[in-house]
Structure 1
Amino acid sequence: MTTSTAGHPAVAPPTRPAGVVAVVAHRKKTLGGGLDELRASLVAAGVGRLLWYEVPKSRKAPRKVRKALDQGAELVLVWGGDGTVQRCADALAGSDVPMAILPAGTANLFASNLGIPADLSEAVRIALHGRRRKLDLGRLNGEHFAVMAGAGFDGDLIRDADRRLKGRLGRLAYVWTALRHVRGDLVRTRIRVDGADWFDGEASCVLFGNVGTITGGIPAFDDARPDDGALEIGVSTASGAVDWARTLGRMAAGRSEDSPFVRVTRGRKVRVRFAAPKTYELDGGARGTAERLKVRAVSGALTVCCPAL
């Protein structure tokens, strides 16, 4: 056995590929030489049995993950961006079957936070021979997330940075969309953290972070770790262009807590109540609106293939 940097046990790297390996791929995403190169690489690596599933949309991925598990998959390789990864992580949570990320999306924040490069050959090597880490997930209204979740300004931004805009502009899509939402309305928001009242006032955005770097590559939560059994919780009271320019500037500089419009804390269970329905999102995917959010950290919920220390 080896030990992770946070003291949690990590299974030693395997000496050979798992006997049954599944690929769940968003067929519209690209990386390196594409899915043909991936298949060739896995065959050349000596994978005993390869299960192959391609989906046209990330929301169709969980069904394929469950099918792979039913077929005895010992390792699931996920080809796509954060949306596909989140959907697959939700299906794999609690299964103990490792997930490997092949970062082929517009945004690959979970992969980049874990040090997994957008390089196909290296990502495959990590998938087959990297160390296995037990990592936390967040859970919001019954669905797991790996990077972050949010509501309000953040949810509106994600909802409107549609697939076509992201395809043309990449991460700039979030910046472009943010400029359209800087006048987002404040709404009465009540937040309880681990059973105690923490915030009660007008707010424009609430965030829950499992890792430090969030949407658009912004380092929002300096102390976040995906293996500490807790979530970072942030609330913003910024309400106009000037407020948001100051807030995003502090966040981009890694000094979120210095903003007069931001409060940050840490906890395991969170309850949020809005005076009016707010759009919420998980890992860059909009989910709709809600007046109440029930959020918690799920310790060690997912095993992920990561680079060696």
Structure 2
Amino acid sequence: TKFALEAIKEGYLRVVAVGGDGTINEVASALVHTEATLGILPVGSGNGLARALKIPLAWEKACQLLLKGHIRRIDVGKLDGRYFFATAGVGFEAQLSHLYDKRKQAASRRGIWPYFFLAAREFFQFQPSEMTLDFTTPSGQKTITCSPFLVTIANTEQLGGGAVIAPGAVPDDGVFNLCIIREINFLQALYHAPKLFTREITRMPQMEVYPVTHLKITRTSSIPAYTEMLVHTDGEPTVGGPEVNISLLPQALQVLTS
């Protein structure tokens, strides 16, 4: 973020992020609400944003796009003080982000399969906690209280690695896709997980999807250990308080796309 901010101060109008979703998030965060355009060379393990924006994963083609691509303005999410550009979330997905981050620091194995092995191992350790979701849809306000397996706020379709959590999500349509998966058992998770890669995940009966522009998540559990909420923004782990607020900034970032 620091180098991107310096580039903007020096008058550069194009700033290229070389890396995965975490690196792209850091660079893009400095470009929000500026006239500078983000270029992406995806070299991460998930590359969720690059995949969603149809940016080639091959270096040569991605470099050509930096020269010949067109500028697209996309929406930006803001979770409390942190920006996100693909997805943010709480629940099981957020817990995995925290554990996976520690794993990356301790070992060099990365990618989608180590992530799924970790998910299978941690499934039985995860304890859903009750939370209240207050959100704004194009048709009005709605409130849901539940103990979800996961809650994903999707600006794009992709989680990364080809896993599609929100089929049809468009990053410049002025709404997020709020994806809620209610409590599920291991066999249900095992049965439905492949649907992430066939774009059929929304067919699972435990899943609900809502178009939203603002969302407040309040953890209602009275257990002291649950006063903090594990969250992630573009797969990067962070810790929120018992309440987090997510808002949408319409077309707040310029990106080079095909």
- Return closer, same or farther for 1:176/1:257 CA change in 2, 3 Å cut-off: same
Q: Offset at 1:112? A: 1.3
Q: 1:193 — aligned with what? A: 135
Equivalent runs, 1:129-144 vs 2, <5 Å:
129-144=68-83
Equivalent runs, 1:168-179 vs 2, <5 Å:
168-179=109-120
Q: Does 1:78 align with 2:17?
A: yes
Percent identity, please.
23
Decide whether the 8 Å contact of 1:189 with 1:201 is kept in 2. yes
Q: Offset at 1:240? A: 3.0
Q: 1:36 — aligned with what? A: none
Q: 2:223 — aligned with what? A: none
Q: 2:254 — aligned with what? A: 303
- Return closer, same or farther for 1:173/1:165 CA change in 2, 3 Å cut-off: farther
Q: 1:180 — aligned with what? A: 121
Decide whether the 8 Å contact of 1:127 with 1:305 is kept in 2. yes
Q: Offset at 1:207? A: 0.6
Q: Does 1:294 align with 2:245?
A: yes
Q: 1:11 — aligned with what? A: none
- Return closer, same or farther for 1:107/1:203 CA change in 2, 3 Å cut-off: same
Decide whether the 8 Å contact of 2:147 with 2:183 is kept in 1. no
Instruction: State how far apart, in whole Å, the 2-side matches of 1:182 and 1:103 are.
Output: 30
Q: Offset at 1:144? A: 1.1
TM-score by length of 1: 0.75
What SS does the aligned partner of 2:114 have? helix
- Higher RCO structure (Cα 8 Å, ≥6 apart): 2
> Letter of the aligned partner of 2:47 in structure 1?
N
What SS does the aligned partner of 1:115 have? coil
What SS does the aligned partner of 2:249 have? strand
Equivalent runs, 1:152-231 vs 2, <5 Å:
152-161=91-100, 162-164=103-105, 167-183=108-124, 184-194=126-136, 196-231=141-176
Structure 1 stretches (4+) deviating beyond 4 angstroms?
none
Deviations 1:102-152 (Å, cap 9, x if unpaired)? 112122111111111122222222112210111111111121111100111
> Letter of the aligned partner of 2:113 in structure 1?
L
> Letter of the aligned partner of 2:117 in structure 1?
W
Instruction: State how far apart, in whole Å, the 2-side matches of 1:196 and 1:306 are.
Output: 34
- Return closer, same or farther for 1:254/1:119 CA change in 2, 3 Å cut-off: closer
Decide whether the 8 Å contact of 2:13 with 2:35 is kept in 1. no
Q: 1:91 — aligned with what? A: 30
Decide whether the 8 Å contact of 1:174 with 1:216 is kept in 2. no
Instruction: State how far apart, in whole Å, the 2-side matches of 1:131 and 1:215 are.
Output: 23
Q: 2:215 — aligned with what? A: 270
- Return closer, same or farther for 1:239/1:185 CA change in 2, 3 Å cut-off: farther
Q: Offset at 1:165? A: 6.9
Deviations 1:164-196 (Å, cap 9, x if unpaired)? 577314221210111122132121111111162
What SS does the aligned partner of 1:187 have? coil
Q: Offset at 1:272? A: 0.8
What SS does the aligned partner of 1:270 have? strand
Size of the aligned set, in residue pairs, is 246
Larger Rg belongs to: 1
Instruction: State how far apart, in whole Å, the 1-side matches of 2:241 and 2:90 are.
Output: 9
Q: Offset at 1:83? A: 0.3
Instruction: State how far apart, in whole Å, the 2-side matches of 1:82 and 1:107 are.
Output: 7
Decide whether the 8 Å contact of 1:172 with 1:216 is kept in 2. no
> Letter of the aligned partner of 2:245 in structure 1?
K
Equivalent runs, 1:13-92 vs 2, <5 Å:
62-92=1-31
Unaligned runs of 5+ in 2: 221-225
> Letter of the aligned partner of 2:32 in structure 1?
A
Decide whether the 8 Å contact of 1:182 with 1:239 is kept in 2. no
What SS does the aligned partner of 1:126 have? helix
- Superposed CA RMSD in Å reads 1.7
Decide whether the 8 Å contact of 2:149 with 2:184 is kept in 1. yes
Q: 2:236 — aligned with what? A: 285
